[in-house]
Structure 1
Amino acid sequence: MKFNFYTHSLISDWNHGNAHFLRGVMRDLVRRGHQALALEPDDSWSRANLIAEQGPVAIERFRETFPDLGFQIYGADFNHEAAIDDADVVIVHEWTEPALVERIGQARRDGGRFTLLFHDTHHRAVSAEGDIAGLRLDNYDGVLAFGETLRQRYLKTGWGKRVYTWHEAADDTLFRPRPEIARTGDLIWIGNWGDDERSAEILEFLVRPVKVLGLDAAVRGVRYPEHALEALSEAGIEYGGWIANAEAPLAFARHRVTVHIPRRPYVENLPGIPTIRVFEALACGIPLISAPWNDAENLFRPGHDYLVAHDGEEMARQLSEVLSDADLSDALVASGLETIRSRHTCRHRVDELLSVLAECGTRRVVEKLAAKEAAE
């Protein structure tokens, strides 16, 4: 089948975590013999920032790293109806411009034979409800929400006909243990500063524990204001700026432990939704200690797949224990890898997507799925 994905950016993962998951899903679809194309706007904020910071070479690196991924950059005069006319499945991400969200829905209403899904991977349904409420989703066949609490939000408000939970996951062909790489540092955190959604938490669960323990630590990410950079420097934390997501497995491999610091809107309003870095870190076989969040959907086994620190002091104590106890570290790694490999890879999510399509897909899609199943 032919899949078209409307996204903010496939090319750039500069402060754009959804690119991680989309790349993994598209790669798995291609491996299964499907066609997959990402369509992104010519004014993508993430791509513009990536090029401004890294130069055009960043785009060439993406092409070299992911030669199997196809993309199309569209402008104001792009013929979207022609682009999706021969598609079997069209998936529109929630950062797509509202007018285009509606336009694609109208194409489906006006005879489009493709199955049309809306994909939400953010907290705007809670934090900026008006943005989502204003979207015209009545012509969409279904909604993919990246957590059960978000799915319930859509159902409660009547947004969309059918709503399915579709969590993010790790591309384990890329995110995997690299035991041949020597560990040269104690701790690494890969995360962006963002919009002050976890500023206090970064200080409590990362900066202060590292300073107290005197760890050899590094931070990678973007949008760190001057006062944040000063805090990292005072704690002896090396700040390395942006890192391409494809290079994150190597960064994890060079360190002995990492942390998870969830954004406040998810902790307070959307329990059960971790960032994709949890899936990716565990897939790389690095011990993880998390600030508090409610794993409401039992995605993981807290205390086995990772440890939970309820405050900065507990974080410091647990970091010290993991770094000094090889048996504890090895047990966390083994448990985390087991959970990822059994439940949370992009292969699992593609299986789930195909199940969704079998339920809400157009006749053309359902027939193609049945034919492929019969052939296997």
Structure 2
Amino acid sequence: MKLVVLGLSLSSSWGNGHATTFRALLKAFAARGHDILFLERNVPWYASQRDLTDPNFCRLAYYDDLEALTAWQDEIAAADAVIVGSYVPEGVAIARYVQGIAEGVTAFYDIDTPVTLAKLARGDFEYLSPEVIPGYDVYLSFTGGPTLRLLEESYGSPAARALYCSVDPDAYRPTGVPKRWDLSYLGTYSPDRQPTLERLLIEPARAMPDRRFVVAGPQYPDDIDWPANVERIEHLPPAGHADFYSASRFALNVTRADMIAAGWSPSVRLFEAAACGTPIVSDRWAGLDALLAPESEIILADSSADVIAALDRADSDAIGGAARARVLAEHTAAHRAAELEAHLNEASEGRTNGPHEDATLREIA
């Protein structure tokens, strides 16, 4: 299968979770025998912070604007499938362009589905608009559950399919480094996550001055009052994630408000921490129990008292081990790549619009 992906970023993991998601997924997709071209908008923010410039699983190329994208018109037109990702600059115009010239399946991969739907509801069409959704043959959604029906019934998607984030088990595994922190959190600053971070990490840190905590990620305001026992790491590249989680007795998972409201929206960090065998303390949302079993594979916390109690649990190693086993059995990049292949082939077989309605994608054994 020849696949073209237009995504937010593959080259830079700075301040976004898209890069690690695409890296894991596309590496596994290429391992199934497929040919991939990733087209990334050349923007200063990512250009100055690139930590993957020559991937060995796909071709990576940059374009400066929509007009410059026409240099890749022949490859987009001839591809068996073209995927446009969420938060791609000029995403609506790119959707129209891709849908107008692509002879193969077109798909939208939304790594931010609840955020996207909240933006659509308030008329914010930054990278997606209601009128282009029906033009995508399949809507690949970071969020599962009831949201999939909403996308089909209210927005006219011909096929909405869950494609959760995943983990590359070669990159995320226990490394055996000494434990440095009792509780860690890895994530870019988000105003709607910050109250939960305050409740589930900063308040426990104040209550437990003899314990060690860490928050890694960029864009946190200077006026946050960090307790003395909370270490700050401004940016942690993916190469350091496995050691970071392995050095943590527990890892905290904090979910954005829109994603809590929608449910069924696992963060890539959830799978990555679990793959490292680190027991996870998480906020609560619908659908989480279908991914990891509460108490035996993950600890749910509503208050700082819940976190304080969790940090003293004697069964933490068993919880971390069980979560790792579950993720390796169900949530690796290889699992997602197989799902992606199936979704694209399903869309091709059911396609009825355009001049290429008989086109099919080659099955790779």
* TM-score normalised over the length of structure 1: 0.86
Cα deviation, 1:313-360, whole Å, max 9, x if unaligned, reads 111111232xxx2xx012111210111011101110111111112211
Q: What letter is aligned with 1:266?
A: M
Partner of 2:163: 166
RMSD: 1.9
Letter of the 1:118 partner, please give it.
F
Per the alignment, in what secondary structure is the counterpart of residue 311 of structure 2?
Answer: helix
Q: Helix, strand or coil for the counterpart of 2:14?
A: coil
User: Are positions 1:106 and 2:96 aligned together?
Assistant: no
Query: Within the alignment, does 1:285 sit opposite 2:261 as a pair?
Result: no
Q: Which residue of 1 aligns with 2:223?
A: 227
Preserved contact between residue 133 and residue 155 of structure 2 (Cα < 8 Å):
no
Write out aligned runs for 1:318-357 (5 A).
318-321=310-313, 325=314, 328-357=315-344
Partner of residue 141, structure 2 = 145
Q: Is the 8 A contact 2:164 2:266 kept in 1?
A: no
Of 187, 193, 202, the residue aligned with 2:197 is 202
Q: Name the counterpart of 1:273.
A: 265
Residue 71 (structure 2) pairs with residue 75 (structure 1): no
How far 1:185 moved relative to its partner? 2.8
- Inter-partner Cα distance in structure 2 for 1:282 and 1:185: 16
Q: Which amino acid aligns with 1:334?
A: G
Percent of paired sites with the same residue: 22
Distance 2:160 2:170 in 1: 29
Kept after mapping to 2: 8 A contact 1:260/1:289: yes
Alignment partner of 1:128: what SS?
A: helix
1:136 aligns with 2:132: yes
Decide which of 334, 341, 345 is 1:358's aligned counterpart. 345
Q: Where in structure 1 do 4 or more consecutive aligned residues deviate above 3 Å?
A: 66-69, 132-135, 362-366
Deviations along 1:120-150, one digit per CA (max 9) or x if unpaired, are 1212333211324445133321111112233
Task: Indicate if the aligned counterparts of 1:187 and 1:218 stay in contact, CA closer than 8 A.
Answer: yes
Gaps of 5+ in 1: 52-57
Query: What is the alpha-carbon distance in structure 1 between the residues aligned to residue 281 and residue 115 of structure 2?
Result: 27
The 1:157–1:297 alpha-carbon spacing in structure 2 relative to 1, beyond 3 Å, is: farther
Shift of 1:225: 0.3
Using the size of structure 2 for normalisation, the TM-score is 0.88
Residue of structure 2 in register with 1:295 after alignment: 287
Q: Deviation string for 1:280-321 (max 9, x for gaps)?
A: 100111111112222267122111111011211111111232
Paired residues, what number? 344
Give 1:152 shift: 2.3
- The residue number in structure 1 matching 2:257 is 264
Counterpart of 1:54 in structure 2 is: none
Q: Which has the higher helix share?
A: 1
Deviation of 1:201 (Å): 0.9
User: Are the counterparts in 1 of residues 130 and 155 from structure 2 also a CA contact under 8 Å?
Assistant: no
Contact 1:281 1:288 survives alignment (8 Å)? yes
Q: 1:28 is aligned with what amino acid?
A: A
Alpha-carbon separation, structure 1, partners of 2:69 and 2:256: 36
Structure 2: which 5+ residue stretches go unaligned? 350-357
State the secondary structure of the residue aligned to 2:336. Answer: helix
Alignment of 1:305 with 2:297, yes or no, is yes
